[in-house]
Amino acid sequence: MVGLSAASEGSQMSKSEESSQRPDTPHYENATGGWGSLKGVSRILVDQKPSPGVFHTLMRQNKPGGHMCTSCAWTKPAQPHLFEFCENGAKATIWDLTRDRCTPDFFARHSLAELRGLSDHELEKTGRLTHPMRYDPSSDRYIETTWEEAFAGIGAKLRELDPKSAVFYLSGKGSLETAYLYALFARLYGHNNLPDSSNMCHETTSVALKKVIGIGVGTCVLSDFDHCDLILFFGQNTGTNSPRFLHTLQTAKERGCKMITFNPIRERGLVEFANPQNPAQMTVKPATRISDIYLQVRPGGDIAVLAGLCKRVLELDAERGGQILDRAFIEEHTTGLDELMARLREVSWEEIEKESGLRREELNEVAEIYATSKNVIGIYGMGLTQHVKGWLNLAMFVNLLLLRGNIGRKGAGISPVRGHSNVQGQRTVGVSEKPENVPLDKLAELFGFEPPQEEGRSTVDLVEGLLDGSVRGLISMGGNLARAIPDRARAEEAWRNLDLNVQVATKLNRSHLLPGQATWLLPCLVRAEEDMQAAGPQVVTMEDSLSMIHGSLGKREPASPHLKSEVTIIAGIAKAALPPNPKVKWDEWTGDYGLIRDLIEATYPDKFKNFNGRLFTPGGFHRGNSARDREWKTESGKAQFTAPESLTALGESPEGEEVTLITLRSNDQFNTTIYGYSDRLRGLSGARDIVLINPEEMARRGLSEGQLVTLECAVEDGAERVVRGLRVVPYDLPDSCVAAYYPEANPLIPVSYHDELSKTPAYKGVPVRIHADGAVR
Ligand SMILES: Nc1nc2c(c(=O)[nH]1)N[C@H]1C(S)=C(S)[C@@H](COP(=O)(O)OP(=O)(O)OC[C@H]3O[C@@H](n4cnc5c(=O)[nH]c(N)nc54)[C@H](O)[C@@H]3O)O[C@H]1N2
Ligand SMILES: Nc1nc2c(c(=O)[nH]1)N[C@H]1C(S)=C(S)[C@@H](COP(=O)(O)OP(=O)(O)OC[C@H]3O[C@@H](n4cnc5c(=O)[nH]c(N)nc54)[C@H](O)[C@@H]3O)O[C@H]1N2
Ligand SMILES: [Mo]
């Protein structure tokens, strides 16, 4: 049952916060962090019964010489806290180290048809996968196999396929060593079909920031947060998705830095935070207020917000004798300001108010603060990237920062908060469908072959290829594509037509239950586990959100003696699929990952100088950032202002009966891994098949609390997209929008509905209609 959370710990919410939250809708009364986060961890400990020593393992998490958390990509500080892990990081590690096992015996007892009846939560709760398995169509079961058989079988199938019809997906947890070898394998085999989870996430960042500032990643480092006096925060839910970042925000706030947030939902972590590691804050001291101003922008309304802010900053500059813009910076480093100014003159405040859902006075107040702040950092997440004009959201954000020279100096910059723990790094070392982002000539020289030159498939292209039958083979290194992709219900049948489906995973998920002609399910180590190879225990590396590279050393005994590392699985398949090449030394490389790092250094000498010598640098080592140094690797050689062609990021604004759907993560999930059914920080618990709507919108549509409804996608392209049986929950959201959980709502997202430039699916802005259950078609 969905209900208000019955949290009983003393509420530390200030009066002003109480009055700005709709009192009649579910919400969390306590500060983020605090006792609630400790309870969240205890619950998962009871549920997963991890093997002994888990506390000792957690104490090594995110510390130099320890292992890096597999949850989010937030940076790991040089001086870690005593506990450098958060509620969700602890959940992720405990989930990996469960004592439950999903064994050959389990598979002997259950057909895949039966297993398809289990929920995402139940599937992963069966425990860690223990043996390599092959699908047997005659019994509809996975049966135990050997690694030798699996490698030989997969290699033989790959040799039969046209390389261009195969796709090698990588979910963002794989290490730099895994990513480098995987990308090399793909290119030796003959394609650039290398999507990773970034294609569903921050690909908008990779493309749009590259276009306007010449580099596809953020420009800030951790010390910038010690010098900023304003943080502008768009569409990122820190309390749930990168909780350790709250410590950074708290420190900045306590130093006097201001923070202004734009988000359709009042996310608790962005309202206030009590540090669970601070005994005083856990008992008597008030929680830290995080956002000074919190504006509930309409979904897709950020372009209008940023246009309004830029417009007002330009007006202020005119009113105050040219004192507001950083003219020297603009002159030397940028291009396109005149076009932007001309466009903004045409844009009316009425349009800005309509698209953003915010009042002119509210935006004027923010513009005044921005115009008088010295150093400003811009933060964003999926709320900006997952839209049809996501790229323009980012270009507009950059416009605002460029006006006052807030990129490329201490205490300022643009800082996307990345998702998976190494998703950014995978792109850095060559996992990309875009060959222009990869030094193919270097690869040719190092390994004596001709790398394929044509653009490969993104995740959206993969889904389209599944639907039209042009994708014949898939290797999925981690992840759960069958749930994470748009149009997942339409794609579900298509998985069965694949000639080859190879899934490398730690726990059972839906993607493993949709076998093709030949299907293998291969179990791998997790990061906290020891990876023993010929040269001894191996270190792997990852790059965090702030472009810092860290070594990670697992010490736990593996969940099963039959597990292999991702690196050795890639090498095993590659050896079986490819003709021998004296320059390609799979066995040597897998014996000592230091040799793979030497190859990474040889391929990317500027970013990875002395890679092996810097593995455990406290806080990681920075791989360099041209925009931070005010070197603009754009087409014009300058930072680019962009004149907005549209004031909404939505593909279609909702009309008549339609509303905009945003899809959300709860505090009790990591993407498609559902730990449980509590969304504590939103005051929701017990169910995920819900739809959130504001009380006035409910009244206008004659909907009542608890009523079952069907959502139907309003994009007209001949395909039916519906999700039935969602329970209506009144919630504090702007008008004309609804929210539902990801991945449950993914059948509603058309695969064609993606960011125009980067093809990131528009998971935060799809027009839908609401029908009383049974009323649709
Ligand atoms: N515990 C946990 N941690 C995670 C993950 C997880 O699932 N669970 N996932 C990881 C991954 S892969 C990623 S990419 C990140 C995702 O982390 P985030 O970037 O935080 O992504 P979301 O939670 O999808 O959505 C972020 C926020 O966008 C807001 N929003 C929606 N539409 C709009 C809009 O149009 N404008 C604005 N301004 N805001 C909007 C939503 O209300 C929500 O608060 O987190 C990573 N960390
Ligand atoms: N509607 C909607 N859809 C979305 C989003 C959204 O906001 N809304 N967000 C999108 C985003 S940002 C992302 S990143 C994608 C996520 O998409 P994916 O990265 O494809 O999905 P995950 O849920 O992270 O993958 C979970 C599975 O990974 C496997 N796994 C876990 N750890 C490891 C490991 O170390 N190695 C290997 N080989 N396997 C491992 C486990 O078996 C687990 O079941 O979803 C996207 N889909
Ligand atoms: Mo992501």
What is the tens place of the pLDDT at every residue in 352-380? 999 999 999 999 999 999 999 999 999 99
pLDDT of residue 482: 97
- Write the CA distances from 648 to 178, 313, 562, 598, integer angstroms: 39, 20, 52, 46
Q: What is the pLDDT of residue 1?
A: 31
| pLDDT at residue 25 greater than cutoff 90 | no
Residue 315, pLDDT score:
98
Residue 322 binned pLDDT confidence (cut-offs 50, 70, 90): very high
Dist. CA 204 → ligand 1 center (Å): 14
Say if residue 382's pLDDT is above 50.
yes
The packing angle between helices 203-213 and 390-403, to 10°, is: 40
Q: How many CB atoms lie under 10 A from the CB of residue 465?
A: 18
pLDDT at residue 223 greater than cutoff 60:
yes
Instruction: Please give the distance, rounded to the nearest whole angstrom, from the Cα atom of residue 21 to the centre of ligand 2.
Output: 32
Q: Which ligand is nearest to the CA of 475?
A: 2
Q: Assess whether the C-beta atom of 742 lies below 6 angstroms from ligand 2.
A: yes
Tell me how long the chain is.
Answer: 777
What ranges make up the beta strands (E) of 204-264? 230-234, 258-262
Give me the mean pLDDT over the 671-687 stretch.
95
Least confident span in 268-272, 532-536, 728-732, 750-754 = 268-272
Sign of the Cα torsion 745, 751, 753, 757 reads positive
pLDDT at 8: 32
pLDDT digits (tens, 9 = 90+) for 114-124: 999 999 999 99
Say if 713 falls within a structural domain: yes
125, 67: one domain: no
Alpha-helical runs (H) found in 110-146: 112-115, 120-125
Q: What is the mean pLDDT of residues 591-620?
A: 97
Alpha carbons within 13 A on the beta-carbon side of 284: 1
Which residue, of 355, 390, 421, is where some domain finishes? Answer: 421
Within a domain: 744: yes
Rg (CA), the chain: 25
CA 654 to the chain's CA centroid: 26
Q: How confident is the model at residue 283 (pLDDT cuts 50, 70, 90)?
A: confident
Whether the per-residue pLDDT at 774 is higher than 80: the answer is no
Q: Which of 426, 526, 385, 389 is nearest to 195 (CA)?
A: 426
User: Quick one: pLDDT at residue 83?
Assistant: 87
101-102 vs 128-129, strand pairing mode: parallel
Torsion of CA 446, 451, 453, 459, to 10 degrees: -110
Among 40, 65, 96, give the residue marking a domain's end: 96
pLDDT tens readout for residues 552-570: 999 999 999 999 999 999 9
Whether the Cβ atoms of residue 393 and residue 303 lie closer than 8 Å to each other: yes
pLDDT surpassing 70 at residue 7: no
* Residue 2 located in a structural domain: no
Q: Let me know: does 647 contact 347? Beta carbons within 8 Å.
A: yes
The whole-angstrom separation of Cα 66 and Cα 64 is 5
What are residue 685's DSSP bridge partners? 678
For residue 348, give the CATH number of its domain. Answer: 3.40.228.10
Q: How confident is the model at residue 775 (pLDDT cuts 50, 70, 90)?
A: low
C-beta of residue 760 within 8 angstroms of C-beta of residue 754: yes
Residue 456 lies in a domain: yes
**pLDDT band at 652; cut points 50, 70, 90:** confident
What pLDDT score was predicted for residue 676? 94
Is the residue at 431 inside a domain? no
The β-bridge partners of 505 are: 523
Q: Could you tell me if the CB of 44 is within 6 A of ligand 2?
A: no
Ligand 2 contacts CB of residue 481 (under 6 A): yes
For the chain, how far is it from start to end, CA to CA, in angstroms?
A: 28
580 shares a domain with 446: yes
Strand partners of residue 377: 231, 413
Spatial separation of the C-alpha atoms in residues 177 and 594, rounded to whole Å? 9
Task: Report if residue 3 sits inside a domain.
Answer: no
Q: Does some domain include residue 629?
A: no
Question: What's the pLDDT score for residue 776?
Answer: 54
Q: What is the best residue among 72, 480, 511, 670 to mutate for testing ligand 2's pocket, by most ligand atoms within 8 Å of CB?
A: 480
Average pLDDT score over residue span 408-432? 97
- Kindly indicate the confidence band of residue 731, based on its pLDDT and cuts at 50, 70 and 90: very high
Closest-approaching ligand to the CA atom of 648? 1
CA of 201 to the centre of ligand 3 (A): 4
Last residue of a domain, one of 397, 421, 445: 421
Q: Whose CA is nearest to atom 37 of ligand 2?
A: 478
Q: Is residue 2 pLDDT above 50, yes or no? A: no
Lowest mean pLDDT among 16-30, 153-167, 384-398, 656-670: 16-30
Q: Is the pLDDT of residue 30 over 80?
A: yes
Report the alpha-carbon distance of residue 87 to residue 91 in Å, rounded.
6
- How many helices (H) does the chain have, and how many strands (E)? 29, 33
Both 363 and 244 in a single domain? yes
Residue 201, ligand 2, Cβ within 6 A? yes
d(Cα 723, Cα 720) in Å, to the nearest integer? 10
514 and 572 in a single domain? The answer is yes
182 and 230 inside one domain = no
138: domain CATH number is: 3.40.50.740
Which residues make Cβ contacts (< 8 Å) with residue 653, sequence separation at least 6? 300, 660, 767
Pairing of strands 690-693, 684-685: unpaired
- Indicate whether 56 and 124 sit together in one domain: no
Mean pLDDT of all residues in the chain? 94
Same domain for 442 and 474, yes or no, is yes
- CB atoms inside a 10 Å sphere around CB 403: 24
- pLDDT at position 278 is 79
Amino acid letter, 407 = I
Backbone angles phi, psi at 89, to 5 degrees: -65, -40
> What integer pLDDT is reported at residue 14 of this predicted model?
38
The half-sphere exposure of 357 on its side-chain side, counting CA atoms within 13 A, is: 18
Domain interval for residue 471: 101-201+437-617
Check whether 9 has a pLDDT greater than 60: no
766 pocket-lining for ligand 1 (C-beta < 6 Å): no
**Mean pLDDT lowest for which of 76-90, 237-251, 276-290, 762-776?**
276-290
Q: Is any atom of ligand 1 closer than 6 Å to the C-beta of 236?
A: yes
Taking the CA of residue 91 as reference, the ligand 1 atom at the shortest distance is 1
487 lines ligand 2 (CB under 6 A): no
Q: According to the model, what pLDDT value does residue 19 have?
A: 44
- Between CA 166 and CA 146 the distance in angstroms is 24
Task: Please check whether residues 383 and 360 belong to one and the same domain.
Answer: yes
Mean pLDDT of 289-294: 95
Residue nearest to atom 33 of ligand 1 (CA): 383
| CB 324, CB 268: distance < 8 Å | no
Which atom in ligand 2 lies closest to the alpha carbon of residue 745? 1
Same structural domain, 125 and 197:
yes
Sign of CA dihedral 340, 342, 345, 346: negative
Give the pLDDT confidence score for residue 13 in this predicted structure. Answer: 36
pLDDT at residue 666 in the model: 96
325/373 same-domain check: yes
- CA–chain centroid gap for 74, Å, is 11
Give yes or no for residue 67 CB within 6 A of ligand 2: no
Q: What is the pLDDT of residues 513-547, one digit of tens each?
A: 999 999 999 999 999 999 999 999 999 999 999 99
Q: Rounded to whole angstroms, how far apart are CA atoms 2 and 727?
A: 9
| pLDDT tier at 282, thresholds 50, 70, 90 | confident
Residue 168 lies in a domain: yes
- CA 639 – CA 208 distance, rounded (Å): 12
- The pLDDT value recorded for residue 46 is 85
Backbone angles phi, psi at 765, to 5 degrees: -165, 70
Q: What is the 278 CA–ligand 2 centroid distance (Å)?
A: 33
- 715 or 22: which leads in pLDDT: 715
Residues with beta carbon < 5 A to ion ligand 3?
201, 419
Number of domains observed in the structure of the chain: 4
Residues 183 and 265 in one domain: no
**607 ligand 1 Cβ < 6 A:** no
Q: Which pLDDT value is given to residue 29?
A: 82
Q: How far is it between the farthest Cα atoms of the chain?
A: 80
* Same-domain status, 194 and 259: no
Best of 37, 88, 203, 241 for a ligand 1 pocket test (most atoms within 8 Å of beta carbon)? 241
Most ligand 2 atoms within 8 A of CB, residue of 171, 480, 573 to mutate: 171
The Å distance, Cα 196 to ligand 3 centre, comes to: 10
Closest atom of ligand 1 relative to the 669 alpha carbon: 8
